[in-house]
Amino acid sequence: MNSRHIMAAFPAATDAQVTLANWRQHPFSEWAFRNVRELLPTANIARSPTPTSLTFAQCYLEDVTFANPRGDTIGLGEALRTSHTDGIVVSHRGRVVFEWYANGLTPDTAHLVFSVSKSVAGTLGGILADIGKLDVDAPVTRYIPEMNGSVYGDGCTVRHLLDMSVGIRFDEDYMARAGDVINYRRSTGWEPPDASIPPIHLRQYLQTLRPDGTPHGHTFHYVSTNTDVLGWVYERACGLSYAKILSNYLWQPMGAEHDAYITVDSHGAARVAGGISATLRDLARLGEMMRNNGVSNGRQVVPGWWIDDIRCNGNAGAWSRGDLTKVFPNGNYRSKWYTIERGQPPFAAIGIHGQWVYIDPANDMVIARVSSQPLPMDLDLDHMWLRGYRAIASRLAGKS
């Protein structure tokens, strides 16, 4: 199947038709990840009427080299073309120095960012905390009394949601054919209708989740539903839908150039943990804002103390007891952002199938990359791209 033929006829050929039954499988995903709105109901996240302008200063970077998963040296151009990357924007000292699009993506096309959505939610949390709308140390039940009786009612605070340290029984196995992840996705509308299962919507499903016996705050346990609960907390705190909160407090103040959007379930609940689609340039603006300590377009959009806290106050012990030490052995996680290597500046938002916003403050560099990698988790590609990001940073530093 040549991916250019996907959805290219009316109707598409049988093996080129994207539906809810195949949309996250490659090669269907290439079309699907930039057309989520045509597959699912979505809520709009309105752009700014006065977008933050980008400046461009093109650098030739295609010959930056790094090791591929087999240990061979390849250039950036080859890496992009062979890793299912759909697009990348590199900014250095606030200017876009490299931009590349493939597989139908364009500067105007929003792409699904999966769990980069979580970092967006974590960033929004700092904004709401700073203006007093959100108490991150409050129990979740202060905002959502319905959570009494669930894992989120048992002493669980907003901070535990932010830091993925809820003691929850949930197996976040993206390859599973049944169980937690499937039940969860079904509640968000991401699975095709299944007549044999009684329908349950997201906010109902979240109330069914139960503890695993681990004390909250003890262990980094990566579970998407925590972030959906967080978004629900924001809705109760603000009296607005998640999409409106995100637009009003972050997307517009940041100066986004394009509308973003987020998938919603049958009852209007946003898939806060992974449902945002946005353009690469707006992801680059997000990264630049984080690099600039929360300032975008001359305006303090995210409080600087929140970003300092993200970069300094992750719980290393919780991380080392947690799920993702195979990905980043000495990493950390705070307010839904990853520190790649404790004690070093780079931090990142990361989503499955190859979505990244990588921020390297020491090298004044931001990289936004979106992809349709066939595997949800692909450590070989993740580590290749980390090498790639570092090689790009070195090249740019050498040029300064």
Active site residues: 115
C-alpha dihedral, 345 to 351 to 353 to 356, nearest 10°: -40
- In the bound state with a second copy, the residue whose beta carbon lies nearer, of 5 and 218, is 5
Site for a second copy (CB under 8 A): which residue of 145, 149, 179, 193?
Answer: 193
32 contacts a second copy (rule: CB under 8 A): no
Q: Does 260 bind a second copy (CB under 8 A)?
A: no
**Which H or E run includes 348?**
strand 347-351
Q: Is 113 a binder of a second copy (CB under 8 A)?
A: no
Kindly tell me which residue out of 17, 22, 297, 320 binds a second copy, with binding defined by CB under 8 A: 17
- Laid out side by side, the sheet with 332-334 consists of 55-56, 95-101, 85-92, 365-371, 355-360, 347-351, 337-339, 332-334
**Which one, 238 or 295, has the nearer CB to a second copy?**
238
Q: How far is the CB of 117 from a second copy (least distance, A)?
A: 17
Shortest Cβ 191–a second copy spacing (Å): 12
Question: How many other β-carbons are positioned within 10 Å of the β-carbon of residue 131?
Answer: 10
Stretch that binds a second copy, among 69-77, 85-93, 258-266, 283-291 (CB under 8 A): 258-266
CB distance 236 to 256 below 8 Å: no
Could you report how far apart the first and last alpha carbons of the chain are, in Å? Answer: 44
Q: Which two tokens stand for residue 71?
A: 């240990």
User: Among residue numbers 300 through 339, which ones bind a second copy (CB under 8 A)?
Assistant: none
The alpha helices in the chain, defined as continuous H runs, are: 28-32, 76-82, 116-130, 140-143, 158-162, 180-188, 202-206, 225-238, 242-246, 252-254, 280-291, 304-312, 316-320, 379-399
Nearer to a second copy, 11 or 398 (CB): 11
Residue 200 CB, shortest distance to a second copy, in Å, is: 13
Q: Which is nearer to a second copy, 42 or 335 (CB)?
A: 42
Cis peptide before 346 (omega within 30 of 0): no
Based on the shown chain and the rule CB under 8 A, indicate whether residue 236 belongs to the binding site for a second copy: yes
Does the protein bind a second copy through residue 245 (CB under 8 A)? Answer: no
Nearer to a second copy, 144 or 386 (CB): 144
Find the length of the chain: 400
Considering the complex, state which of residue 191 and residue 382 has its C-beta at the smaller distance from a second copy: 191
DSSP characters for 58-101? Answer: ----TT-EEE-TTS-EEEHHHHHHHTTEEEEEEEETTEEEEEEE
43 touches a second copy (CB under 8 A): yes
Site string for a second copy, 144-163 (x = CB under 8 A): --------------------
Q: What residues make contact with a second copy under the rule CB under 8 A?
A: 7, 10-12, 17-20, 37-44, 193, 195-196, 203, 232, 235-236, 241, 259, 261, 264, 266-269
